[in-house]
Amino acid sequence: MVLGCLGFLWFAGSATAQYSGLLQRNDITDMLRSYQVLDSQKSRELNLGNYSFAIRPINPFAFDGPKENWIKLRQFGYTQYKNDSIAAGYNNESFFQAAGLQTRYTAGATIKLGRLIADFQPEWVTAENPPQLEIDEQHFDPDFYARYYFWNINVIDLPSRFGPSSIKKYYLGQSSIKFAFDNFAMGLSNENIWWGPGMKNSLVMTNNANGFKHFTFHTIKPLRTVIGSVEAQFVAGRLDSSGIVPMENERQKRKYWMGAYIPKPNFDRGLMGFVVTYQPKWLKNLYIGMAGSSTYYKKTKDSTGKSMIDPYPYFVKTNKGESLTLGSVFFRYAMPEDKAEIYGEFGRSDKLASPWNMVGDTIPLGFVFGIRKWLKISRSSQVELMAEVAQLQLPDARLILNEDAPWGFPRVNGFYTHPVVRHGYTHNGQSLGAGIGPGSNSQYLSLSWYRKGTRIGVHGERVVQNNDFVYAAYLSNVVGRGYHNRYYTNLTYGAHLQVKIAGLHIAGAINYMNILNYKWVKLGGTFSTGSPLSDKKNVQASISAMYDLDFKLRFKTPKPIQKAANWVTETMKWTGCDCKK
DSSP character at residue 300: -
Give the model's pLDDT for residue 473. Answer: 80
**Is residue 3 within 8 Å of 62, Cβ to Cβ?**
yes
393-425 residues labelled b (16+ CB within 10 A) or e (exposed):
bbeeeebbbbeeeeebbbbbbbbbbbbbbbbbb
Local confidence band at 555 (pLDDT 50, 70, 90 cut-offs): confident
Give the model's pLDDT for residue 32. Answer: 83
Residue 540: CB atoms within 10 A of its CB come to 21
Give the model's pLDDT for residue 543. Answer: 95
Residues 373, 14: Cα–Cα separation, whole Å: 19
**Is residue 517 within 8 Å of 523, Cβ to Cβ?**
no
**Is residue 116 within 8 Å of 564, Cβ to Cβ?**
no
Short-list 282, 302, 278, 300, CA closest to 290: 278
Residues 184, 176: Cα–Cα separation, whole Å: 15
Residues 410, 402: Cα–Cα separation, whole Å: 6
480, pLDDT greater than 50: no
Range 88-117 average pLDDT: 92
Give the model's pLDDT for residue 523. Answer: 84
551 burial type by CB count under 10 A (0-12 exposed, 13-18 middle, 19+ buried): exposed
256, pLDDT greater than 60: yes
Rounded mean pLDDT of the chain? 84
Residues 557, 111: Cα–Cα separation, whole Å: 12
511 burial type by CB count under 10 A (0-12 exposed, 13-18 middle, 19+ buried): buried
Give the model's pLDDT for residue 526. Answer: 64
Residues 197, 283: Cα–Cα separation, whole Å: 18
Of residues 569 and 457, more confidently modeled: 457
In three-state secondary structure terms, 211 is: coil
What superfamily in CATH does domain 2-574 come from? Capsule assembly protein Wzi (2.40.160.130)
- Provide φ and ψ at 96, rounded to 5°: -95, 160
My answer on whether omega of the bond before 57 falls inside 30° of 0, hence cis, is yes
Centroid of chain to Cα 574: 39
Delimit the domains of the chain by residue range.
Answer: 2-574
Of residues 7 and 462, more confidently modeled: 462
End-to-end Cα separation, the chain, in angstroms: 16
Residues 144, 37: Cα–Cα separation, whole Å: 49
Residues 550, 544: Cα–Cα separation, whole Å: 19
Residues 396, 398: Cα–Cα separation, whole Å: 5
